[in-house]
Structure formats: C-alpha cells, structure tokens
Amino acid sequence: MNQQLPLIIAIDGPAASGKSTLGKRLADDFGYLFFDTGVMYRAVTWAVLQAGIEVGEEAAVTALAEGVQIDVASPSKEDGRACDVLLDGQDITWEIRRPEVDGNVSPVSAFAGVRKALLEKQRRIGLRGRVVMVGRDIGTVVLPEADVKIYLFASAEERARRRYNEIVARGEPADYDEILRKVKTRDQIDSTRAIAPLRPADDAILLDSDALNFEQVVEKAKEYCHK
C-alpha cells in the first residue's frame, strides 16, 4: 500500500487546529515518520539554555543553531514519545518538553538566522521521504515539493472551544474568553510575521474541520493522500 501513497505529506495550519494530532495519526497508519518541526526549535532552545547563552543574544543563538546536528527519527522507545529527537547524537526527546524550554522557545524561533539554519535541517529529513511533516510553513517554505499539502483549519471560536474542553477534561481551570483571545493573537502574529507568514500553499488542499469530528478529518485526509 505504501507504494501508492505520497512520499512526503505536508500539514500546515493555525494554532490549535489539530494538525499535530492528524499528522501523528496518518504517520502511524501509513508507517511513516511523524515530524513536527516545532521539536527542532525546542532542541535549539534546550541547547541554548544548556550552553548558558542569553536567549535574546541573536548572533550567539543563531551560531549555535547553525553548528549543532539535529535529527528526528521514528520512536526507539515505547514511552509515549511521537519520535526521537537527537542533538549531536544525544537523545533529548523529553528534555525539550521541560518548562524552561516552553518559556523560551518563542523568541528563539523568531530569529531569522535560526529559521534559516533549521530550514536546511528540516529539508534534509523531509526529503528522505515516507514522512508526515507538520508545521506552519511546510508547504510554502520547507517542502514546497511535497506530494500532498493539507492546510487544516477551523474558526478561532471552534479551536478555542476544543482547547477549553481539553483543559477542563484534565480537571484544570479554564477561561474560554481568555483562550479565544490567545488563539486570535497567535493567528495575528503567525499570519503577519515578515518571515514565512502562515498561509496555505497555492496548491494546498483546504480542509475545514469546523463541522467535522476527528475521525471524519482523518478519513478526508486519507482520501486526499490516496488520490
């Protein structure tokens, strides 16, 4: 079956659109590597913190991003990881999920030099094929030659509602209006940034999930891949 599938599947979309969940499901079902490009920015952020570099020092952060070797591979352990993340050969899959990385990854990922350095690394992995790559600029910048490009989206209200329900289901307090505000703010930042703004590729398939449940989204995405 895999010979009939596209070798490179790109999934883009706004924050909280469900693209990572969809990408992981497709990768599992097709036997492909699931690659959320956000893990690379997290890996650089972790390395920056380990090196004692100030997060705001753009030149130093960029130099580190250019010099490190980052690889993403299928999970080697059954510990809940979606993939292995290796930095200079060291497994840092769970280190990049630490709170200090969460708090510093945004400024690191905004540096033009960092994005350029990681673009080359992302393309190297993506062009191996048999990959589902997820992000905000995969179809437009990282892998414009992807065989299938899916732009998954939903209204800000629907995405906020889903995130609100997820938080409440974990037994944590949540404020829908505050979540909606953050979703809209993130959309504004992503769509107006100077470097690789969020937008669907000209040849992307637009998949609106507003009125669909997850399984329906998966089935539609699979239909596109098999076509």
Q: What is the pTM of this model?
A: 0.85
Q: 7-32+129-227 belongs to which homologous superfamily? A: P-loop containing nucleotide triphosphate hydrolases (3.40.50.300)
Q: What angle do CA 45, 137, 104 make, to 5 degrees?
A: 20
- Say what the alpha-carbon torsion angle 217, 220, 221, 223 is, to the nearest 10 degrees: 160
**CA-based torsion, 92, 94, 100, 105: positive or negative:** positive
Instruction: Please give the Cα distance from 185 to 182 (Å, whole number).
Output: 5
The DSSP letter of residue 2 is: G
Per-residue pLDDT of the chain (227 residues), as tens digits, is 445 788 999 999 998 899 999 999 999 999 999 999 989 999 999 999 999 999 999 999 999 999 999 999 999 999 989 899 999 999 999 999 898 998 888 889 889 999 999 999 999 999 999 999 999 889 999 999 999 999 999 999 999 999 899 889 989 899 999 999 988 988 888 888 777 788 999 999 999 999 999 999 999 999 999 98
* Helical ranges in the chain per DSSP H: 19-30, 38-51, 58-67, 99-102, 105-110, 112-126, 156-169, 176-192, 214-226
Q: In what order do the strands lie in the sheet with 90-91?
A: 70-73, 84-87, 90-91
SS (H, E, C) 101-143: HHCCHHHHHHCHHHHHHHHHHHHHHHCCCCEEEEECCHHHHHC
pLDDT at residue 60 in the model: 97
* CATH assignment of 37-128, among 3.30.1360.200, 3.40.47.10, 3.50.50.100, 3.40.50.300: 3.40.50.300
In the chain, list all ranges with CATH 3.40.50.300: 7-32+129-227, 37-128
Cα 172 to chain center, whole Å? 25
Q: Which residues face 95 on adjacent strands? A: none
Task: Identify the pLDDT of residue 1.
Answer: 45
